Each structure stands twice: as C-alpha cells, then as structure tokens.
Amino acid sequence: MIFFNILSRLIRSACLGLLTVFSALSFAADAPVVGDPVAAKAKVAMCIGCHGIKGYRSSFPEVYSVPMIAGQSQEYLVVALQAYASGERTHPTMLAIAKSLSPQDMADLAAYYANPK
C-alpha cells in the first residue's frame, strides 16, 4: 500500500511538472514576434536583388513587375511573406524564399523595409 501511495504522488508530481512546462511553452509560443531592423541587415541580400531596383521586372516564370517594398507597412509585409510561405500567394521565387524564413526573419525583414533610411 505504501508503494502505491508513493507511486501515486510521483505520478501526480510528474504530471504537474509537465503541465507547468507545457503551459510555459504555450505562453512563449503565443508571444508576439518583434522585428529587429538591425538584425535584418544580414538578411536583406536575398531581397535587394529584385526589390531594390526601381522598375525591375523578373523573367521567371513569366515577366513580372517586381514591387518596391521599402516603405510598406510592417504588418502588410509579414502577412505577404506568410502568404507566400503557405502557398496562398504563388510566385515561385517568393514561395521558395518565404519558406526558408522563420517568423523572426519575417518580422526582422518587415521592420527593416517598413522604415527605410
């Protein structure tokens, strides 16, 4: 009987510990990602080649006028990148680039391009 009481307490303690850990992880996952324009400076090389040239037109997979993204709102840029990553937007080059970005990368790039200097 003593063994079962000890075992029961151990199981309850372990469950409580796991619930605490999962609650903390859930809270951290829900925290908003804050963009860092300084961190983005190391990430913009893949964007500048197309989005940094006024009037640039890509030729793959079809001729497409590339929009200038400097000065766009931060929220819009994050939503657009998420839409490319999910396949909701379908330009193949942007799909590949967006899929390679983490949520932090997207927030950093959006912060950088929303406030051009």
* 3 state SS for 46-84: HHHHHHCCCCCEECCCCCEECCCCCCCCHHHHHHHHHHH
Same domain, yes or no: 5 and 61: no
What whole-number percentage of the chain has pLDDT above 90?
A: 51
Same domain, yes or no: 40 and 85: yes
Predicted local distance difference test score (pLDDT) of residue 86: 97
- Please give the tally of structural domains in the chain: 2
Look over the chain and give the mean of its residue pLDDT values, rounded to a whole number: 83
The range of the structural domain enclosing residue 26 comes to 1-31
Q: How confident is the model at residue 77 (pLDDT cuts 50, 70, 90)?
A: very high
Same domain, yes or no: 55 and 103: yes
Mean pLDDT on 2-9: 59
User: Domain containing 39 — which CATH number?
Assistant: 1.10.760.10
Same domain, yes or no: 27 and 40: no
Is the Cβ–Cβ distance between 70 and 116 less than 8 Å? yes
Same domain, yes or no: 19 and 51: no
DSSP state of 34: -
**pLDDT per position as a tens digit, 13-69:** 554 554 444 544 554 567 889 999 999 999 999 999 899 888 888 877 678 889 999
